[in-house]
Amino acid sequence: MNLQISFLVGVFIVILYSLVENIIFGNRGKKNQINEHFKLLKGSDNKRTVKKKKNLKSDNMDITGEKKLLIILISGVVIFLFTYVIFKMFIISFMLSTIGYLVPKAISKHLLEKKNDMINNQFREALRSLVSSLKAGYSINSAIKRCCDELNKFYKNEKNKLIVNEFEKINDDLNTGLPIDKALLNFNKRMNNEDIEDFVYSIIIVREKGGNLVQVMENVSTIITDKLTIKRDIKRMTAAKRVESMILSLLPIFMIVALSLISPGYFDSLRDSLIGNCLVIVGFFLLAVNYFVGKKVIDIKV
């Protein structure tokens, strides 16, 4: 009877945990554009309306297939063995091991954040080169070609040169006769980045409706540079809080391991009672909530 009750309690906790996880990681809705200026540029009568923004995901950043299954299995086995060795409770260990299905999503998110940081930093240098070339009187096609040469020199020792490769693809498309608008739209589709989307559509709209392309490019470059500076400052100012959040999340686990090694029978009272089993599940659940909520609080979006 106690085993059945433990199983039902575990299922309830897992379902509740899944709901909270969906609330935290679920679709947060469309993000605002980085500046109202682009809303005016796009205009309500523009036939090239901006497509609904997708989540900033990239196929090579999203772990799928066999790799995802392998990560889930390894994570689940590690969690199961850890909890079973300490508490000797099979049902609770099995329920907690289901947390492993969150690990691929966390890894994908981390890789995506690193990729976007790299893209934004390299794209800022590309914008500076484009603005400099346009001010010197180059056409947009010639400015892109000159930008490719400068980026190759600037990032010649870098291992990941994603923006450099993308600008070379744009240049190749232009050399094969593809219109600049189509080449830039393909670039935006491949990257699926908010700043790049603003850059692409600002050029297309200026070319369609007329305007000072150099001034618009300067505005875009200034906005993106300021945005990256603010992100860097926020990351630096919240560094201590991120460390505190990690320590607070890992400290209970460290104490559990230490107590289990020092006094192996310390958790016998939890193993032998239904209330103890429920408290263990609730404790791990609250520990996970603490980690995700703490991470969300210090994750300030710009």
Residue 213 lies in a domain: yes
Number of compact structural domains in the chain: 1
Is residue 267's pLDDT more than 50? yes
Residue 41 lies in a domain: no
Instruction: Sort 199 into a burial class: Cβ within 10 Å, 0-12 / 13-18 / 19+.
Output: buried
Residue 228 lies in a domain: yes
What is the share, in percent, of the chain residues with pLDDT greater than 70?
78
Residue 160 lies in a domain: yes
| Residue written as token pair 């559509």 | 201
Residue 244 lies in a domain: yes
In terms of average pLDDT, the best of 9-23, 68-82, 165-179 is 165-179
pTM of the predicted model over 0.85: no
Whole-angstrom distance, CA of residue 156 vs CA of residue 122: 12
Residue 28 lies in a domain: no
Region 41-67: mean pLDDT is: 47
Indicate the SS3 state at residue 156. Answer: coil
Residue 29 lies in a domain: no
Is residue 60's pLDDT more than 80? no
What is the share, in percent, of the chain residues with pLDDT greater than 90?
1
Whole-number pLDDT of residue 65 = 66
**Residue 19 pLDDT grade (very low, low, confident, very high; cuts 50, 70, 90):** low
Whole-angstrom distance, CA of residue 198 vs CA of residue 39: 10
Per DSSP, 53 falls in state P
Residue pair 219/75 in contact by the 8 Å Cβ criterion: no
pLDDT tens for 155-204 read 877 777 888 888 889 989 888 888 888 998 999 888 878 888 888 888 88
Of 58-72, 200-214, 271-285, the poorest mean pLDDT is in 58-72
Print burial letters for 174-188: b (CB count within 10 Å at least 16), e (below 16): beeeeebeebbbbbb
Is residue 291's pLDDT more than 60? yes
Structural domain boundaries, residue 84 = 2-22+58-298
Whole-angstrom distance, CA of residue 39 vs CA of residue 217: 16
Record the tokens describing residue 75, joined without a space. 């994570």
**Residue 264 pLDDT grade (very low, low, confident, very high; cuts 50, 70, 90):** confident
Whole-number pLDDT of residue 41 = 47
Whole-number pLDDT of residue 44 = 40
**What sign does the CA torsion over 128, 129, 130, 134 have?**
positive
Whole-angstrom distance, CA of residue 296 vs CA of residue 242: 10
Q: Which residues are within 8 A (CB) of 206 and not within 5 positions of it... i.e. 6 or more apart?
A: 41, 212, 213, 216
Q: How many CB atoms lie within 10 A of CB 191?
A: 22
**How far out from the chain centre does Cα 220 lie?**
23
Residue 37 lies in a domain: no
Max Cα distance, the chain (Å) = 82
Whole-number pLDDT of residue 10 = 54
Record the tokens describing residue 98, joined without a space. 């289901």
Is residue 92's pLDDT more than 50? yes
**What sign does the CA torsion over 219, 192, 292, 245 have?**
negative
